[in-house]
Structure 1
Amino acid sequence: MNQLIRPAALLLDFGGVVVATTNRPSWPEELAAELHHDLMAAGCHELTPDDIVCDLEAAAAADSHWKNAMSRPAAPVEMTAHRYWTEFVAADWPPAARAFVTAHAQVLCHRQGQLRQDRETRPGIGELLDTARHHGLPVAVVSNALSGSVHRAYLRDAGLDKRLALQVYSDEVGVRKPNPEMIHLAARALDVPAGLTWYVGDNFDRDVLCGRRAGVGASVLMEARGTYRRPYVVRVRPDAVVADPYGLRDLLVAAFAQPGTGGDDAA
């Protein structure tokens, strides 16, 4: 593998890179109970909690297939909260119940995002950010999300938001990886050419492909749960593969220590 370029900015995916995620099997029942209570209070009595659970699970499955399909177009757009709740969850609900979730779609997406997964900062993220700061390297999160507000809240609560130069989420900008505009948006905001960035993600069909389409200086794959469960053959290959944030830190140290770069090892 060739030596990677010295980056001018480091762009990180959220799930699988900054945090490790664990699915919570109970989320449909929990969300259905809350939503059923709110629907009843609003005068919508036709749906049972079991009805809501069934449609939440069906919507999540359909959304997963949709996400896989959206890795094929050249410039996919993101699912809106309105479309998700109106068409994927409540397409066959009574009009009043459908209107209720449509009106509260943003809040419901945020709550669903909170309940679906437990998140934990991956070991080594602090050391990675220390190394980036040592070299004056801006770090941004660039991630697909149905509710980026969930990610923002996590990073704020973990004390990581102030260590980031930028956060870009697909639901907020209207496009999703592997649309290269996700990376181009971040690069423009940081005033850095995309070709001088590293993009780091945990899967092939969205992250590595997005980096290739955007023309990044290096597309780095960080291994995580599900990394090698590809939905179909993806012909792109990363420039480097690391097991965790510690491995990424080592790549950074090596890149900045190249002769003639003026870099030195971080403490």
Structure 2
Amino acid sequence: MGQLITPEALLLDFGGVLVATTGRPGWAGELAAELSDQLSRAGTPELTVDEIRTDLEAGAAADSYWKNAMSRPPTPRELTHREFWTDFVAADWPPGPRAWVTAHASVLCRRMGELRQHRAHREGIPELLDTAAAAGIPVGVVSNALSGAVHRDYLERTGLVKQLAVQIYSDEMGIRKPHPELILLAARALGVPVGRTWYVGDNFDRDVLCARRAGAGAAVLMEAPGTYQRPYAVRAVPDAIVPDPVALRTLLLEAL
């Protein structure tokens, strides 16, 4: 690894870089119980809680496979909230419940995101953001998300949003990494040439590849659970690999 360019902007993935996430095993049951109650009150009580839970888990699994496949096209689109609920969860539901979840898809995606994972910022993130601020380097978030609103809520709640200049989420833009436009959007919003940015993510097939396609000044891979569980061979290689935000801060100080 050679010396990296001095960045004029630092672009970070959300999950795996800014935030460590851990799954909540009971999320599908909780959401199924809530949804069953909502459907009953809406006058469409045809499904049991177990049936809803089973289809929620199946939809989440199908979504995961779809996301892996979408790392192959050069400019992949994002799944819409309506598509997730109508096609991946409720494809075989009676017309009433299917129409209801379709109409409330965005709210349901947000609630699913709230229930599905625990989130906490990774050790060293506050210090990293402070160092970037002291150096006059704006920091942005560029992330794939089923519901970017959940990420925005977390950053607002924890106060980290105060140190972020821009947030770009795939569901809000209609495209997903490794589509290069997501990184280009952030660079343009910050008024920084993309070739003078660092993009930091935790996946080869979405993050490193996206940085390469966008022409980022450096593609930095931050290790997280699942980083090396690549769904298939990926030829994109990062400029640097760091284990955590503490090491990323050290890398940034060296570049400065």
* TM-score of the aligned structures, taking structure 2 as reference length: 0.99
Q: Deviations over 1:244-266 (max 9, x none)?
A: 0011101110001xxxxxxxxxx
Question: AA paired with 2:142?
Answer: V
Any idea what SS the aligned residue of 1:97 has? helix
> 2-side partners of 1:73 and 1:101: how far apart?
29
- The aligned residue for residue 262 of structure 1 is none
Any idea what SS the aligned residue of 1:36 has? helix
Any idea what SS the aligned residue of 2:86 has? helix
- The aligned residue for residue 77 of structure 2 is 77
- The aligned residue for residue 89 of structure 2 is 89
> 2-side partners of 1:2 and 1:146: how far apart?
36
- The aligned residue for residue 52 of structure 1 is 52
> 1-side partners of 2:164 and 2:130: how far apart?
11
Question: AA paired with 1:73?
Answer: P
> Please, what is the CA RMSD of the aligned residues?
0.5
- The aligned residue for residue 98 of structure 1 is 98
**Identity %, equivalent residues:** 69
Q: Does 1:3 align with 2:18?
A: no
Unaligned runs of 5+ in 2: none
Q: How does 1:176-187 map to 2 (within 5 A)?
A: 176-187=176-187
- The aligned residue for residue 194 of structure 2 is 194
Unaligned runs of 5+ in 1: 257-267
> 1-side partners of 2:45 and 2:2: how far apart?
63
Q: How many residues align?
A: 256
- The aligned residue for residue 38 of structure 2 is 38
- The aligned residue for residue 168 of structure 2 is 168
> 1-side partners of 2:41 and 2:60: how far apart?
25
Q: Deviations over 1:148-194 (max 9, x none)?
A: 00000000010000110000000011110000000000011111111
> 2-side partners of 1:38 and 1:129: how far apart?
41
Q: Deviations over 1:71-96 (max 9, x none)?
A: 00000011100110011111111111
> 1-side partners of 2:162 and 2:130: how far apart?
13
- The aligned residue for residue 24 of structure 1 is 24
> 1-side partners of 2:174 and 2:84: how far apart?
14
Deviation at 1:45, TM superposition (A): 1.8
- The aligned residue for residue 136 of structure 1 is 136
> 1-side partners of 2:74 and 2:230: how far apart?
18
Deviation at 1:46, TM superposition (A): 1.1
> 1-side partners of 2:46 and 2:168: how far apart?
39
> 2-side partners of 1:54 and 1:135: how far apart?
50
* TM-score of the aligned structures, taking structure 1 as reference length: 0.95
Q: Deviations over 1:108-133 (max 9, x none)?
A: 00000001100011010000001101
Q: How does 1:109-258 map to 2 (within 5 A)?
A: 109-256=109-256
Any idea what SS the aligned residue of 1:140 has? strand
Structure 1: 4+ residue segments shifted above 2 A: none
Any idea what SS the aligned residue of 1:167 has? strand
Q: Deviations over 1:228-252 (max 9, x none)?
A: 1110111111000001001110111
